[in-house]
Amino acid sequence: MARVLVTGISGFIAKHVALQLLQAGHEVVGTVRDAARSAPVKETLVRHGADHTKIHFAEADLTRDNGWAAAVAGCDYIQHLASPFPLAQPDDREALVPAARDGLLRVVKAGLDAGAKRIVVTSSLAAVMYHPKFKGQFEAGPEDWSDPDWKAISPYIVSKTRAEQALWALLDERGERHRATVINPGLVLGPSLDERIGTSLSVVEMLLKGAYPASPPLLFPTVDVRDLAALHVAAMDSPNTGGLRLLAAADTVSMQEMALILAAAFPAFSRKIPTKELPAWVVRFMALFDRNLKSVLADLGRRRIAKTAYVTEKTGIAFRPAREAIEAAAESLIEYGVVRPPR
């Protein structure tokens, strides 16, 4: 069995990756920015059946060099999942790039220098599917890239694209592309392992709470976190995935479709769930006054579909339908008391 570094182990996806690694018998070293975060993570993993003797922690921050050499020492593989995902978008389109790019390169350089056999990096479909050439309904594959100079996209999309491009440039410069695999997931739903939910699950949370009177006309390629974690583990030591981008998504669903699925599956919440859809022109008008809404303008009128058949062929991982991920996400939010049925 291997020793695997999991960066940002307190995150929603990272906890699932760590759990599947531990269930497979591997030893896991998880990085945290603050050592105080390690106890709740360990408690969660053990509660879900992990062997506590195989869970270790290292203190390291993506914004600093300190700690990374010690964290990667002795690790056979690296699962790099730590990455900021801000709900609020800054005015400067390039503002998020330094943190996203420099943190990623810091971890990858440390892993390469330490002799890690494979570094699996979590990127995003945000780095694949946002280009002015894509209109209406379209399919995008691993050869496609978002255009970071396209004025319509958000600072977050700019940062994910530039960070991943910098990663491949580093690997090519060192002649070590084969030692990395990048995974590009869509909207990640599915069950949370505890009450500390990820940013992506806030979409389901807001729908259940009826945070808005109607859903914006947005569509998301969606992936279940359990399948995404399995893909990370499969990509780690597969001879078929070195140097590749692996797109991770099942079907593409709209927020209105999510709302209808939730209303049918959780009737106690149906009165609050917004099952109507806002017209696109209303969203464009509101975006004149809300800079966070500006970040979704590039999504209006587009149905993005990820080409993933090659991923299943190379790894054996098939993606379950979005409906299962949506319902599982809601079940866990209710189970952990993040949302409560209305009285």
> Is the pLDDT confidence value at 87 over 60?
no
Per-residue pLDDT, averaged over 236-249, amounts to 96
What local confidence, expressed as pLDDT, does residue 167 receive?
98
Confidence class for position 212, pLDDT limits 50, 70, 90 = confident
Chain mean pLDDT for the chain: 94
What local confidence, expressed as pLDDT, does residue 297 receive?
83
In the numeric block, the tokens 């580093």 are attached to 170
One DSSP character per residue, 135-180 reads: -SEEEE-TT----TT-TTS-HHHHHHHHHHHHHHHHHHHHT-GGGE
> Is the pLDDT confidence value at 7 over 60?
yes
Domains of the chain, first to last: 3-335 (3.40.50.720)
CA count, 13 A, side-chain hemisphere, 239: 0
Helix (H, G, I), strand (E, B) or coil at 34: coil
Record the pTM: 0.95
One DSSP character per residue, 267-290 reads: GGGTTTS--SB--HHHHHHHHTT-
CA count, 13 A, side-chain hemisphere, 36: 0
Q: What does the pLDDT look like over 292-306, one tens digit per residue?
A: 677 788 888 899 999
Angle 12-23/38-47 helices, nearest 10 degrees? Answer: 50
CB 236 within 8 A of CB 4: yes
What local confidence, expressed as pLDDT, does residue 286 receive?
83
Range list of β-strands (E), the chain: 3-7, 27-32, 55-59, 77-80, 118-122, 137-140, 180-185, 187-189, 219-224, 245-248, 252-254, 303-306
What local confidence, expressed as pLDDT, does residue 234 receive?
98
310: DSSP letter = H
What local confidence, expressed as pLDDT, does residue 283 receive?
83
What local confidence, expressed as pLDDT, does residue 86 receive?
59
